[in-house]
Structure 1
Amino acid sequence: MSAVMIARKVRKWEKLPGKNSFCCDGRVMMARQKGVFYLTVFLIVGTCSLFFAFECPYLATHLSPAIPVFAIVLFLFVMAMLLRTSFSDPGVLPRALPEEATFIEMEIEAANGNVPAGQRPPPRIRNVQINGQIVKLKYCHTCKIFRPPRASHCSICDNCVDRFDHHCPWVGNCVGKRNYRYFYLFTLSLSLLTIYIFTFAIVHVVMRSVDSGFVKTLQDTPGTYPFMLVCFFTLWSVVGLTGFHSYLISLNQTTNEDIKGSWSGKNRLQNPYSHKNIVKNCCEVLCGPAYPSVLDRRGLTQDDLPVPASTAAQSNPVPQTTKTTAPLIPNEHTPDDAKSSIADSAISHAEKGSPSPKKEKPPTPAKVPPLASPETDAFSSFNLYCDWHLNIHSITTMTDNTIRLSITHEGITNEEMARGYLLL
């Protein structure tokens, strides 16, 4: 069965390459593997729910009602930073267009010259100087671009990310230039929340044990101890992760650079991005400008959609020609008192008649601009009558596909509506 290509407008996020998933018409951008992200949300919400259900009523009564209030504020901030990190563009770089990729390939071949057969071509690298330090720009064979400094290709999302730090399955997204500060604030606030609820859970158990004994406390609050066990094991990993990223921020370094040993180890190279000052490094990473996304996910682009010929014919049927009866055309033998009624009849007939397509167009008077569909006999008669018997003073094009004619017939000025499609 033959197919017909129909052009349609789609959002650019629908055509973006890579392995990301989009929601809310391209506003939300995540990795396709979101199972661990749902586990993160479940652990945070579940742990805080147990704290609010078993700990907060006793603590608010016997200590202070501000304890659950501060816990709620901290919990909402943690969830906001988690969702902001997970749903935002981490700094994905657009891939080269086919024309751009061809031009880059030609430049590389011209620079390398003719490579003998059997010999490996030289690596595709360009060098730039940043603060007196030579930095290599590597060529990405997937995206067909020379990656900017500190950018790297994520094998999970299959995209190049600017200032790539790492891919975090716990947030379901890459961590890069545009969402690193939100990731750090998430880990920092989560550490504070874990310490906060774990501390007050211990206070709750101690206060209850003094009043009613340890065994009675176990019976009255059965959810406290599983909750404390989860907090205990989570505390070390979350606090340790926050401390590690605090160390990287003080050096203005990424996790990817630390793992590869780009500015340490055998290379003994100085980090060209560091200001040699902890405060300046922290201000640049956490308080720097918010960079816009370069993807234009919600922009419009054209897409060719293959549709079967039968379906295309059904969706765009050929309009049927409707035969209409033309009004009489006055001549020199027509009485004067009948000419006015014939003119009104021709105009009203033109209003009621629906234009239908026809192969040949009738002659159009020189004084009247052509209509887009003057194919019916009714419009032909109306045009001829206007040419022979009416004095057209003005022609006005209306906004509702209408032409308004100001005409004079036998000394009487009259305005009528001649409806038809405008010639586009």
Structure 2
Amino acid sequence: MKRNNLPPRGLSDRQISYNDAPALRLYQVWQGNNEFALRGRLIFGPDSRSLYLTISLIVVPVILFCSVVSQSLVNYFPDNIGLLLAIIPAVFTLYIIVLIFFVSARDPGIIPRKPPSQDIDDNWDPASLSADWAPNRSNKFLAPTKSVNVNGMVVRVKFCQTCLIYRPPRCSHCSVCDNCVDRFDHHCPWVGQCIGKRNYRSFFMFVSSTTLLCLYVFSMCWVNIIMIMRENGSSIFEAFMKSPISGMLITYTFTVSWFVGGLSAFHLYLVLTNQTTYENFRNRYERRKNPFNRGCAYNFKEVFFSTKPRSQHDFRAFIKPEVYTQYNSSKYYMYAFSLNFSKNIYETESSIDGNELDLERCETSGMDHSSKWATAPDLHRLASKFVVENVARDK
């Protein structure tokens, strides 16, 4: 008897296409530009290859120091003191590499996106519209900003037209990773990752530890040069000719120390004043009070002794087909949803006793839902088949 392959009654074409779609994990349908490793356990930025350069700039000089310069220190210092001086930079380098891993391979504080749906503009009250709201072609409105209270001060947060959310205070959208990041500081090309609320502490420790490592190698190389001069009664030039590696490391570490040392001092200033790099470069609090600054001691405690918030994403969690088919992801789908945004420039403001504080330039959008984003069932099945082939290839 031939089996009936017809679907059960009561199921729509869209439900049938959802049932045919494979079960995918969040990292497999991720909309940002991030790269994942170990099947979603590690998340990197799109420029994560720069890590090879960063690590080599740290490891190679330490290898030269331990293999060449430290051998002289072992002979100069008795009672295994020279051996200890040679082991310290190796252990310190391993510690720095671990910090780099914590900065670059973890979620910096990505804010979840909202899937495109008609619910975004259905709940707005037309009577509450202000003059700076912008209509689109279908005469529907979308608020450019929303008021929130921060430590007794009213600030306006911006609506992100990419993530379809109102960004929390101090959140910004990274154009490199294509994500909204909580307490966004900057995107660091040296570690290939955004620096945000969840990895800023590790980033500061990485930069400051690298500074200390440079100063240590710089000092020990000078000690080696001085020992050569005393032992042979030679000039400083002759000592450098006898140990050229010491001269090279002195020049290298001196140059790098200015860069990482200045960066450490700058970020220490940001920590004590409770600012981010993004806010400082935009002169956010140059003429107005910083609503997040609560004193040097509290600011320092907030960064270094507060509990790190949990990630808002489980990248290995399975996503329902009806959810991930709503997203516009060119990696897994051969079509895109047509959301028509009309862009206008606005200023986000904060009001304190009648004074206005310019926070950031603001882009707002009106969303046109006149054309349905949901596609035909046949296109869903085609997308599902395309997903299966990509997932099998990834595995």
TM over 0.5: yes
- The 5-angstrom pairing of residues 98-137 of structure 1 reads 98-99=116-117, 102-108=118-124, 110=126, 111-112=128-129, 124-137=144-157
TM-score by length of 1: 0.66
- Is structure 2 residue 205 aligned with structure 1 residue 189? no
User: Equivalent of 2:35, from 18, 21, 24?
Assistant: 21
1:275 aligns with 2:294: yes
Aligned to 1:159: 179
SS at match of 1:225: helix
Gap regions ≥5 residues in structure 1: 312-424
Match of 2:275 in 1: 253
Amino acid at match of 1:18: G
Residue of structure 2 in register with 1:147 after alignment = 167
Task: Give, in whole Å, the separation in 1 of the partners of 2:102 and 2:59.
Answer: 17
- 8 A contact 2:69–2:245 mirrored in 1: no
User: What residue ranges of structure 2 are gaps of 5+ in the alignment?
Assistant: 1-15, 322-380, 390-395
Query: How far, CA to CA, are the matches of 1:238 and 1:7 in structure 2?
Result: 50
Distance (whole Å) between structure 2 residues aligned to residue 117 and residue 141 of structure 1: 14
Deviations 1:259-301 (A, max 9, x none): 1222223xx2x2121212x121101111111111111101012
**Corresponding letter in the other structure for 1:70:** I
SS for the counterpart of 2:244 is coil
- Match of 1:223, SS state, is helix
TM-score of the aligned structures, taking structure 2 as reference length: 0.70
Match of 2:308 in 1: 290
Equivalent residues, number: 300
Change (3 A) 1:241 1:120: farther
- What is the rounded CA distance, in whole Å, between the counterparts of 1:44 and 1:75 in structure 2? 7
Q: Tell me how far apart the structure 2 counterparts of residues 225 and 120 of structure 1 sit (CA, whole Å).
A: 68
Cα drift, residue 68 of structure 1: 1.6
Q: Which has the higher contact order (CA 8 A, sep 6+)?
A: 2
Tell me how far 1:229 sits from its aligned partner. Answer: 1.7
Letter in 1 for 2:319: T
C-alpha displacement at 1:71, in angstroms? 1.8
Q: CA RMSD in A?
A: 2.6
Report the secondary structure of 1:106's partner residue: coil
SS at match of 1:183: helix
Task: Report if aligned partners of 1:50, 1:224 keep a CA contact under 8 Å in 2.
Answer: no
Query: Is the partner of 2:109 in helix, strand or coil?
Result: coil
The residue number in structure 2 matching 1:346 is: none
1:20–1:30 CA contact under 8 A, matched in 2? yes
Amino acid in the other structure paired with 2:186:
H
SS at match of 2:121: helix
Tell me, what secondary structure is at the counterpart of 1:171?
A: coil
CA contact (8 A) 1:7 1:302 kept: no
Q: Which residue identity lines up with residue 22 of structure 2 in the other structure?
A: R
Which deviations, in whole Å up to 9, do the C-alpha atoms of 1:24-73 show, x marking residues without a partner? 11111111113432211110011111111111111123122221222222
Question: For residue 101 of structure 2, what is the aligned residue in structure 1?
Answer: 83
Match of 1:98, SS state, is: coil
**More off after superposition, 58-67 vs 149-158:** 58-67
